[in-house]
Amino acid sequence: MGTPAGFKKRMWIYLKEMYPPHIRFLYAILLYSTFTTLLCHIHHQTFQFYSITSIIGILNLFTVMLMLRIMDELKDREIDSLLFAKRAFPAGKVYEKDLKISLIAVIITFISMNAFYIRVLFSAILVLMYSILMFKFFFIPNILRKNLLLNLATHNPVIVLILFHLFNIFTVQQYMNYSQISWFDVILLILLFWLMLFSWEISRKIRSAEEETAYVTYSQIFGRVGAMLVASSAQTAALLIAIYFAFTLSLSWIFLSVLSWGFALMLFGYICFLKWPNPRHSNLRSFTEIYILSFMAAMILDSVLR
């Protein structure tokens, strides 16, 4: 195993390659802030960014994403060694024991920071238990490994559980009971964020014909156009929900302007790939990320104007 210094060095190499802390932490800040800001608007509350609860919420996102990343690394070791041999773990830059120790430490941290309130602890345990089921392929690995759609259907709900967990943190931060919650809008809000993250999951596994390998993609299952239609439909549905919130919550004109710009740029990327289906235009994941970031930027700018 080597020295503690060796462990730290290997894990830092792994994190820089597979989970850049500065980028992931910034993403956690943006996601938590935009989600919670909209929850505050819905319930006529003021978002308390500089608070212990907000710090806990951001750290929750950071740690749970890291937990899922390490779990994916361990459970996909065999296929990654064949298809992504240059990655840190298959290449031997980090050891299996390093990842297991880190995973235990992340899980302990995740549960510990949520032990301050029973409602939050309950949803944290739900997220953890579902993540463990995913890690174990729901105890049917031979079936899920061979079926990407079934794998998506069983794994994707973890996003909803994470968003529900963030919602619970919000209720504690604002001293609110469930009886005070506008459930219709909260469900729509969770659906909005889930649709954006769902579209990201689809778009990152769409490739041109010449890029296809043994790695199963949605473009292999649905065809290039069909997979693009699935992703763009989710993105359009998210846009419609965002427009609903823009009007019902009286968000500023800049919110719709920035969001529309991001959506238009995303569509441009899709149209380019539709017209020129080659590796140069196949990176739809980047255009989806621009769309998601435009939503977050729109919320931040709206908050500044307020």
CATH topology of domain 182-306: Four Helix Bundle (Hemerythrin (Met), subunit A) (1.20.120)
Residue 1 has pLDDT above 70, yes or no: no
In tens, the pLDDT along 290-299 reads: 999 999 999 9
Average pLDDT, integer, range 77-95: 88
pLDDT at 186 over 60: yes
pLDDT at residue 82, rounded to an integer: 81
- Give the domain ranges of the chain: 1-181, 182-306
Query: Is the CB of residue 69 less than 8 Å from the CB of residue 18?
Result: yes
Return the half-sphere exposure (C-beta side, CA atoms, 13 A cut-off) of residue 213: 8
* C-alpha to C-alpha distance for 280 and 272, rounded to whole angstroms: 10
Q: How many residues does the chain have?
A: 306
Residues 87-127: pLDDT tens digits? 999 999 999 999 999 999 999 999 999 998 899 999 999 99
Radius of gyration of the chain (CA): 20
Helix H, strand E, coil C: the string for the chain is CCCHHHHHHHHHHHHHHHCCHHHHHHHHHHHHHHHHHHHHHHCCCCCCCCCHHHHHHHHHHHHHHHHHHHHHHHHCHHHHHHHCCCCCCCCCCCCHHHHHHHHHHHHHHHHHCCCCCHHHHHHHHHHHHHHHHHHCHHHCHHHHCCCHHHHHHHHCCHHHHHHHHHHHHHHHHCCCCHHHCCHHHHHHHHHHHHHHHHHHHHHCCCCCHHHCCCCCCHHHHHCHHHHHHHHHHHHHHHHHHHHHHHHHCCCCHHHHHHHHHHHHHHHHHHHHHHHCCCHHHCCHHHHHHHHHHHHHHHHHHHHHHC
Tens digits of residue pLDDT in 264-290: 999 999 999 999 999 999 999 999 999
Q: Which pLDDT belongs to residue 146?
A: 86
C-beta atoms surrounding 208 within 10 Å: 16
pLDDT at 5: 83
Span 231-265, pLDDT tens digits: 999 999 999 999 999 999 999 999 999 999 999 99
Residue 10 in tokens: 């290997």
The first and second tokens of residue 3, run together, are 């020295």
Provide the greatest CA pair distance for the chain.
59
CA-CA distance, 288 to 116, in Å (whole number)? 36
Class level of CATH domain 1-181: mainly alpha
For residues 273 and 287, what is the distance between their CA atoms, to the nearest angstrom? Answer: 11
Mean pLDDT for the chain? 94
Q: Contact 98/10 with Cβ under 8 angstroms?
A: yes
The pTM for the full model equals 0.94
